[in-house]
Structure 1
């Protein structure tokens, strides 16, 4: 028994920690940063002020994690973020394709707890810090409400991934709050004060069918007349969870210090909405519905944005400007919301897309006036307009991985964050990121230490794609459709398609490409054909005169005609895709982006894939053959399709596909990295949306690695991850490696993006 007389002032329990890197904020950005650094041997303390990890992606808020893929609703093909954030999303897909937010919590916790170099402090909020000089943080102080313990955590480097920027704020880092004027950065999309300067918070609810009538008595604080809210006019009972993103409020308030006030207003709206659904009589289908969950903390969109050496702006996104210090990328639309949120007469969001991915520079990821402070998550150095795109979680996490890798280099080279840029370590940072499976648009991995680039690479077969055979699958041209195919520079050879005509009509066919070979927006038409169609089966031999000026994706485009059906194929191939000129209202895709004049964004059409189990390729023959799936692609430094597939793909009929990597002399090999195709085009929304698969259809499941004598040095069964890192217990001396793989299925040939040996 513990007994105390009391009377004297007491102090809380105090735990003092000293580490190499402090990361404050356990959202997806903080999680990915912590894992990235820890895997490189850095001792990390990760402080999270909530009981679970994930921030807005956690079960406490339940927003799906998204980034450049934008629900497959834009023209960013193969754009899912790479590295740890990709590993996280693929792992969640395997364990949790139904999108249960509680399971996603466990996936994040499991990945963090599996890293021995991470000390995780949950329910621990930073409230104070100490500085050794005016521009250098020396330690943070935090308090855990669950164990009544204070923590004093000292380190040479700090990452603020807290969302509101608590570390940066306390340290005196330069920041902004509210929108910039059009004149400051020349951004034509900068909003007026009438529209608003901040995005608000959102709070969601879930409902479920109880199987019997359920009554609802609203709490006294529920909004009584929900019909006064303009946004509620089109509400239906099928909307729940983060489909209620528009249930937003707070953009006219202080989104840091007024958060509790904003939460209460959102609770009023949420419970008032449910009261209307249950008790107005206008929703008879809701009789058996009951509230299953209502958020208790709002999901924040915007508060402070901190200033780095460079501020990302609208022009960087729309024009896809090049940065020598690019370390990450984005691709979500510039997505701004009216400050009045759910009470606004204006549309819930105002989204404008770019034609492709944009680079995020390293100079936007550290404070310009606190020399040992990195910026991660939504607080990076960006204008309010650019923030409208860079704020989304997968994009933010991707940039956070770059921050963590930079911290590794800072500790190794004994430099400050800014010195990585100013002392020419950017190339080192970019190389280390690319080696980890990270993607940076426009950059190739060219690592002089990597051994496969020095080798001769052969394969048992290489796909020369001459045909995607028909599969008794017909689809009407109710919507225009295009088959994306990678083609070399030179004259485009003949294609053969088959169509069924319901009546005598004409088929309009266009050969399109992108104005930029690394984009996938078909905004340039090289040639048009009008082909007569008769009732019944038609063999269409399309002879093009056009010449491809450089290697890129071509779009064989069939314009809308409901009297025509095209034959499709069940065969799927890495880097080959069909896209449709369809609509996705969730991301303001109405088939074509037509902005007002002088907004500073482009007009173009959307051509997007359909989700599996749909999204089959159009059946076609290309007698000349597409010869871009060669074995040497595994060493070209690109781990995903861009202007070509960038993968070795085996022939469909190869019974035992294998790659052989040979050197003129024996090499000492300690590690082997293999990168497989987990379909970078799939957004893998982390919660709410269910998915048809737990393993992507292109992913090699089973493979064996052998040395020059045919000895098995590694074997993997049931793989589902993108990057497989093989660490050998002892260095292997060999003059060759053979990688034997199995086709994922009869409809999908085996493919490997990259093999790297060290």
Structure 2
């Protein structure tokens, strides 16, 4: 028993804490920043104002996390985010392929709680910032659950709050709304009719029951469904993120009027459900009920802070490569009308670049403050560029960048602006790539620090045997094939069939920009006459002037089929000139006005388990999977496969790194294939596999014939082995015991 006598007043307790880095905001960006900094040795405090992590990806909002893969609906091949963001998505696939948002919460919380050096404060909101000159020195925060104030000082601060709470309270320069078209020469800059900000959305889940369910709408539900111009698009099967376009609030203050926006969205949601249940237009909805409705909105846009570079439309569309490139994006420039669901405009205006674009470090810190790093959707970008960079997997990737940048700034006594200079930025780029973060058109210099490499075998592609199944060529289809500078494509034999004699044209297409997968050029073509079922030989009289991926493109020809194979080869892919309605309206990007964007065809793969490869035979083998590839520092198929794969009949594949003199080892980072083209949306959609087929699931790592590690049930593309004490060795051997069913591929063993 405790008895507390009456007093004049009481105050809540205050806890005083200190960290090397304070991260405010526990969405994917903030979590990745905190994990990266802690893994690089900093003491980190992560403050999150919600009871779970994940932000818009959490069970409170339930928007699926996505990024450069764009639902596999654009031409960004092998573009899924790597590093910690990739680790999160792979872990979620392993534990939660069904897409349960509560399980995604668990994945994120588990990662944070088990990370040494990371202190997590949930349900805690920052409300005050203290400064000395141009540096933030401490923040004050409050947790209403444990009735505790926190006073947290730190050497560096990272704002990942989405709304920019730290930057706002500290007086940093920021922007809201869209720039005028003339300021940055952005032709996609919206006018007043379209509006200058994106709104919020609230999602809901439905489910079928065994019997009829009555729905009585609340008093505040929307009464007249025709107030929503797109209401005829509503169906009883739309669910969750399918209704992203139930959006509103872009003409309001999306920070201070968020509660008003929430109530309007609840009005819309319950009005929509009333229409589905009670209008009589959806009799199949009689046995349906709402299982969940979001209690807080998913917010798209509020403040954007200003760094030393303002990311613009041209950076994205022209795919500008910056000297300080540290990350990349690939989602379309995706702008929504400010009036949202009440607008007569389409729900979004989306334009894609021809490939991925890089994001400079100069956009990831405040130019107003010396120790404030920026990540997530508040980075230094125009409204137009923000329309692409705002998606969550891109934000998570940017989180890791600033976390590792904070560690370098701490150890090298640099300000973020100093780290961004040409003489220092290479250290950050190296650190990111050494930890498995892919940066387009950049590569890691000497990842194995001078080692030579040999392997038990090397895969050579001579034949993909037919399996008895066929694919119609009723739509344009292409096989992506790597070819090296100075080489001719070998003669190719295919099996085709047709019910009537007709001509099929096959073209060699290529991309103008290195690393892109959007065909700009036609190099050559040949035609074959198909009648009944037979083998056909393709010969092309063309020589490549550079390393690149070719499109072996089959013209659309109804009535012609091509034989398929069961083989799955890393670095090879079949794509179709087709449409993904989630991110595009046509099979070709068409600009219905002068928006300063390119027009081009979309070439899309199919999702697991529906990916296919044509059966074929080469008269000379393709030798693009050599052991030497693991030394080139390229972490994805880009211009070449850039990976080692063993021969199909190699029962105990292994690859060996050797040094002439003993090499000091502290950390080994294995980067291997985990199907980087496979979108791993975090919630709702669901996936067929818990592990993608090429992943090395069981391996042994030997150091001078001593077993350093045996890993079973692996499901990650980046596998790190940190040694408690440095070890001198002359040899490292990777022994592959098992994969998830397909041929493995190893990109690199990064040694430090």
- The 10-residue stretch of structure 1 (421-430 or 214-223) with the greater mean CA deviation from structure 2: 421-430
Q: Deviations over 1:203-260 (max 9, x none)?
A: 0000011121111111111111223311221111111111111010001111011100
Could you say what the CA RMSD is over the residues aligned between the two structures, in angstroms?
1.3
**Equivalence map 1:175-214=2 (5 Å):** 175-214=174-213
Counterpart secondary structure, 1:33: helix
Counterpart secondary structure, 1:196: coil
How many residues are matched? 751
**Which residue pairs with 1:640 in the alignment?**
636
CA positional deviation for 1:749? 1.9
Equivalent pair of 2:699/2:738 in contact (CA under 8 Å): no
CA distance in 1, matches of 2:378, 2:516: 28
CA positional deviation for 1:345? 1.0
Equivalent pair of 1:501/1:538 in contact (CA under 8 Å): no
Equivalent pair of 2:129/2:169 in contact (CA under 8 Å): yes
Counterpart secondary structure, 2:471: strand
CA distance in 2, matches of 1:423, 1:8: 61
**Equivalence map 1:310-459=2 (5 Å):** 310-422=309-421, 424-446=423-445, 452-459=448-455
- The 10-residue stretch of structure 1 (303-312 or 613-622) with the greater mean CA deviation from structure 2: 613-622
- Judged with a 3 Å threshold, the aligned counterparts in structure 2 of structure 1 residues 589 and 553 are, in CA distance, closer, same or farther, namely farther
Equivalent pair of 1:487/1:552 in contact (CA under 8 Å): yes
CA positional deviation for 1:423? 7.5
TM-score (norm 1): 0.97
CA distance in 2, matches of 1:49, 1:301: 17
Counterpart secondary structure, 1:482: strand
TM-score (norm 2): 0.98
**Equivalence map 1:232-631=2 (5 Å):** 232-422=231-421, 424-446=423-445, 452-489=448-485, 490-534=487-531, 536-631=532-627
**Which residue pairs with 1:90 in the alignment?**
90
Equivalent pair of 2:28/2:399 in contact (CA under 8 Å): no
CA distance in 2, matches of 1:650, 1:550: 25
CA distance in 2, matches of 1:669, 1:413: 22
CA positional deviation for 1:589? 4.7
**Which residue pairs with 1:649 in the alignment?**
645
CA distance in 2, matches of 1:285, 1:580: 35
CA distance in 2, matches of 1:743, 1:715: 12
Unaligned runs of 5+ in 1: none
CA distance in 2, matches of 1:733, 1:409: 26
CA distance in 1, matches of 2:188, 2:668: 47
CA positional deviation for 1:597? 4.5
CA distance in 2, matches of 1:523, 1:563: 28
- Judged with a 3 Å threshold, the aligned counterparts in structure 2 of structure 1 residues 231 and 6 are, in CA distance, closer, same or farther, namely farther
Unaligned runs of 5+ in 2: none
Q: Deviations over 1:118-161 (max 9, x none)?
A: 1111110111111122x211111111010111111101111010
Counterpart secondary structure, 2:719: strand
1:714 aligns with 2:702: no
Counterpart secondary structure, 1:556: strand
Counterpart secondary structure, 2:125: strand
Equivalent pair of 2:700/2:737 in contact (CA under 8 Å): no
Aligned counterpart in structure 2 of residue 749 of structure 1, from 725, 728, 743 = 743
CA distance in 2, matches of 1:283, 1:354: 39
CA distance in 1, matches of 2:723, 2:426: 28
CA distance in 2, matches of 1:750, 1:584: 29
CA positional deviation for 1:667? 2.9
**Which residue pairs with 2:685 in the alignment?**
689
Equivalent pair of 1:201/1:249 in contact (CA under 8 Å): yes
Counterpart secondary structure, 1:472: strand
Equivalent pair of 2:695/2:740 in contact (CA under 8 Å): no
Q: Deviations over 1:679-725 (max 9, x none)?
A: 110110000001000001000111112244x4423211121111111
Equivalent pair of 1:670/1:728 in contact (CA under 8 Å): yes
CA positional deviation for 1:101? 0.2
Equivalent pair of 1:85/1:397 in contact (CA under 8 Å): yes
Equivalent pair of 2:493/2:537 in contact (CA under 8 Å): yes
Equivalent pair of 1:742/1:750 in contact (CA under 8 Å): no
Counterpart secondary structure, 1:632: helix
- Judged with a 3 Å threshold, the aligned counterparts in structure 2 of structure 1 residues 317 and 504 are, in CA distance, closer, same or farther, namely same
Equivalent pair of 2:312/2:382 in contact (CA under 8 Å): yes
CA distance in 1, matches of 2:734, 2:409: 36
